[in-house]
Structure 1
Amino acid sequence: MSQLPDSTSDLSRRSLLRGTAAAGLLATPAVGLLSACAGSSTGDDKADTGAKTNDNPLGVADTGKVDVVVFNGGLGDAYAKFDVTVFNKKHANVTVNLSSTLKIKTEQQPKFSTTPADLINNAGADIMALDTLVNEGALTELTPLLDAPSWDDPNVKVRDTLLPGTINDGTFDGKVLVLNYAYTVFGVWYNQALFDKNGWTAPTTFDEFFTLAPKIKSAGVAPFAFAGKFPYYMRWAIMSWIWQSGGKSAVVDIDNLKPGCWKTPEVMAALEATEKLVKDGYTLPGSATLTHTESQQAFLDGKAALLPCGTWLENEMRQTIPSGFQMKLANFWGVSAADKAKGAVFAGSGENWIVPKKAANAAAGMEFLRAMFSVEGAGKFAELTSSLSSRAGSGDKVTNSTALVSAGEVMKKASGELVSFKHPDWYADIDKAEQNAIGELMAGRMTAAKFADTLQAATDKVAGDSAIKKFTRDA
């Protein structure tokens, strides 16, 4: 895929993956939980170091070990296992202790006051809150890695191999503290074979959806499924609809805690359309209690025609995709004819990778990341996961995935800047309130008006609390 317009995103992504905060269950971390980390020396001060060369720009010692923890979720851990072989091509005598888990916060956060792992994939439902890690000074600044020669070409810096937005996504007050490895395209998935069989066309606007939905329902299929147990999955759709309806400024105002930001006509149009989707009975019964994999399996089983998710979907469900299923991605549809950012696409980097400041071997942790961003490592990631890496060109050789090819088509049609939002990573209190409200909205227990009231109150509370560090983004 060619390079994309400059952008920032959550991915949390996934953010979130991309990269996103825990599904409405993430309690605000106790004050001072990581306070022992603040002001400590960088981890590589405690480790033996080697001579710095073009092949070893971070000065990794000739021997020793590096502890790497990968989140074994939708993208699996096979790519990280492959990266061990890439790393050891240049550091044959350094032992890589690679472990994978779903319980990142549970297993790793308690170690931050002593000796955490050297490199951590901070992702999934049990994610560590980034605002806490940043505010407590618990993370190593990654500029030395970005300014280092790339793994494959000493004349090209690591930063110059990354897709647009990747560096900005991990920047806090001018410091790069996070690098996101996956580059995700988000949208609404459908089965082309099912749509062809019934003569359906994937909707591009809410009006088209509301016209198509009764036809889908009459065929015995629910028009729309979602992961109700993890509300941040629907946040990707809702924030994309807000961006399309109100333009970039609508989302920037939300991120910047602007008074009244949740109650503008454009934001309300997106919220009211979402409410109508639920109230008109177009969601799969029981979706409000489904996990992400349960909703995805319902989609694969033909119980639902449309499903919001990111491009990790194929890899996460690879073992249960039926024969003949033609998985394709469509952009989140527009809200109305008055949309200010028609065709805007939500895509960007996710899957947080961090190097703790108290890591015993921070230099080797950064070096492992450098290996991951190699041509070989990033290409294998795309091959194994049917997802893009944040390194430019990672998916160029993958042609056997209708999912990844369709994601590329979505990107080719992208107009303007890519959809991005920051507030879930910046403010844990807003994130928690937002995910809870999304859960209520999608369960039919909250109106769009009440949703706006709830989020505006949460936003105003954070804005008025001088003890909470504030972040801003450009308009």
Structure 2
Amino acid sequence: MAQTISRRGLLHAGAAVGAMAGASALTGCAMGGDDKKDDAKADANAANPLGVKEDAPLEVVIFNGGFGEEYAKSHEAMYKERWPKAEIKHSATQQISQTLQPRFVAGDPPDVVNNSGSSQIDFNGLVSQGALADLGDLLAAPSLDDPKKTVKDTILPGVVDAGSYDGKFLSLNYAYSAYGIWYSQKLFNDKGWQYPKTWDEMISLCRTIKAAGMNPWTYTGVHARYMSWPILMAAAKLGGTDVLKAIDNLEPNAWKHEAVKAAADAYYQLAVDGFLQPGAEGMDHIKAQTEWCNGNAVFISCGSWLENEQKAVTPPGFNMAVAPPPSLTKGDKLPFEAFRGTGSEPFIVPAKAKNGRGGLEYLRVMLSKKGASDFTRKVSSLTVVAGSAEGIELGPGLTSVTKMIQGAGKNTFNWLYNSYYRKLERNLVNSACADLLAKRINSAQFVDQCQKGADEIAKDDTIKKFKRV
């Protein structure tokens, strides 16, 4: 069934929105932008508050992942309507770091970069080298929809904080992503099953599923960190969000908190009891998600881009749905409805962009209601623009996401360690999750392994540190 989003429902999405993580080190490469003079600049006025030079070319590079690239072409067309003399160069790649890192080092980056995906450029390196433009002028500019409101007034709470480093807003996380456990509502209706709200109920249902000859869970073994998401969500619900802040701040023994250990122990049980699909250890995310869509497993951990990413292979009537991870105990500090809600798809304007003012203007176009609603229609994802999805008919997956947002109310949260220190999640935690789910280590060894990785980063003076308050 389709559903339309109400203003009330979308405003409930005002979670602490965080940045997605990046890849590969830029440390040691001179990429600072403080000495750059932006010659593609005009005098600012009411009609042109960001001082865009009307005939300056604009280069946009998009991560061609779960959202594809077509939405960006629409944004580019909207920019062209405003600045018809500007020539726009569009390109898309899944290899952001490999493609663009040499250009950052050479001082010849694009004007706008969708720095996302498994090969994104490490934000820690970009920030420490001064390679990103301050987006503060964008926030202060009047919105395209209502000149009486600034752009900052139109976006959901938490977006600015999550994209800020050392007090500067450097990254716009455009999509709003909700993370949870996905299943087929049609299958549940056919079997008479109810989604489990407690871990005991989850284990009981997994036994029922296995007895019926089905695999309860699948996961992407290649990107095993996908399973760290429900582990950390369960830990935050059990022990409170201070558990996550301690991890973000690289505090000693943060990963060894009893709530993290309990959550890891719960998900380790899935492996021990044989509830994971055989062969999942070798699957990438598309393979695992396709196995799930084909009915070869009941549950999978993912974010709200899943519906769009799998639309080509999802069977008619599958009716995908998402729910928060089950509560571990009756005494959890946060209710069952709590989940991780965060911004994703980070967009940046390089400090040495030839048309930095145009880059800011492009982001202003994206943050208009027209730009945001078009994105939602094309890729089945919410944006961080408040109220922009009102009246849009949604697929079953995103309809389920909006219900989860409404159910959580203010009980949404996020972590930032993956943005601050990409290596920690993408390499070290990913490896620990892979070992845990393959039963090469147990839950106690899992938290030890994650803590060891965090301690290594904390002691590394070449890595810039950030403080979450």
TM-score range, shorter chain: over 0.9
Residue type at the aligned position of 1:371:
V
What stretches of structure 1 of length at least 5 have no aligned partner? 13-19
Number of the residue aligned with 2:358: 364
Q: Give the match for residue 468 of structure 2.
A: 473
Alignment of 1:3-42 (within 5 A): 3-4=11-12, 6-12=14-20, 20-21=21-22, 26=23, 29=25, 31-33=27-29, 35=30, 37-42=31-36
Q: What TM-score do the two structures reach when normalised by structure 1?
A: 0.93
Give the one of 437, 440, 454 matched to 1:442. Answer: 437
Structure 1: distance between partners of 2:420 and 2:132: 15
- Residue of structure 2 in register with 1:374 after alignment: 368
Q: CA deviation at 1:269?
A: 0.6
Judged with a 3 Å threshold, the aligned counterparts in structure 2 of structure 1 residues 287 and 10 are, in CA distance, closer, same or farther, namely farther
The residue matched to 1:320 in structure 2 has which SS?
coil
Q: For residues 231-289 of structure 1, give each alpha carbon's deviation from its aligned partner in whole angstroms, at most 9, with x where no partner exists.
A: 23222222111111111111111111222212222221111001111111111111111
Deviations 1:74-97 (A, max 9, x none): 011111111112111211111111
**Aligned partner of 1:441: which letter?**
L
Match of 1:391 among 385, 389, 396: 385
State percent identity of aligned pairs.
35
Deviations along 1:7-29, one digit per CA (max 9) or x if unpaired, are: 434452xxxxxxx34xxxx55x2
Is the partner of 1:223 in helix, strand or coil?
coil
Q: How high is the TM-score relative to the length of structure 2?
A: 0.94
CA–CA separation in structure 1 for the residues paired with 2:233 and 2:353: 37
- Identify the residue that residue 355 of structure 1 maps to in structure 2: 349
How far is the alpha carbon of 1:3 from its aligned partner?
A: 1.3
What are the equivalent positions in structure 2 for 1:56-455 lying under 5 Å apart? 56-113=48-105, 114-343=107-336, 344-414=338-408, 416-431=410-425, 432-455=427-450
1:16 match: none
- Contact kept? 2:33, 2:352, Cα under 8 Å: no
Structure 2's unaligned 5+ residue stretches are: 1-8
Q: 2:10 is matched with which residue?
A: 2
Q: Which amino acid aligns with 2:55?
A: T
Per-residue deviation, 1:162: 0.5
Alpha-carbon shift at residue 462 of structure 1 (Å): 2.7
> 1:417 Cα shift?
4.0
Is this contact kept in 2: 1:5–1:417, CA < 8 A? no
In 2, distance between residues paired with 1:93 and 1:263? 57
Tell me the residue number matched to 2:4: none
8 Å contact kept, 1:241–1:335: yes
Report the Cα distance in structure 2 between the residues aligned to 1:385 and 1:126, rounded to whole angstroms. 21
Q: Aligned Cα RMSD in Å? A: 1.6
Distance in 1 of aligned mates of 2:455 and 2:274: 33
Q: Distance between the aligned counterparts of 1:232 and 1:105, measured in 2?
A: 20
Between the aligned partners of 1:266 and 1:239, the Cα distance in structure 2 is: 9
- Give 1:54's match in structure 2, choosing from 46, 55, 60: 46
Contact 1:387 1:395 in 2 (8 A): no
C-alpha distance in 1 between matches for 2:44 and 2:327: 52
Q: Is the 1:233–1:309 contact (alpha carbons within 8 Å) kept by the matching residues of 2?
A: yes
CA distance in 2, matches of 1:451, 1:364: 46
Does the residue aligned with 2:321 lie in a helix, a strand or coil?
A: strand
Corresponding residue for residue 17 of structure 1: none
SS in 2 for 1:94: coil
> What is the alpha-carbon distance in structure 1 between the residues aligned to residue 27 and residue 339 of structure 2?
37
Rounded to whole Å, the distance in 1 between the matches of 2:125 and 2:278 is 37
The Cα shift of 1:466 comes to 4.0
> How big is each residue's C-alpha offset from its partner over 1:161-182, in whole Å with a ceiling of 9 and x where there is no partner?
1111111110011111100110
Structure-2 separation of matches of 1:90 and 1:154: 16
CA contact (8 A) 2:215 2:297 kept: yes
CA separation in 2, counterparts of 1:309 and 1:11?
Answer: 16
After the TM superposition, which of the residue ranges 452-461 and 380-389 deviates more from structure 2?
A: 452-461
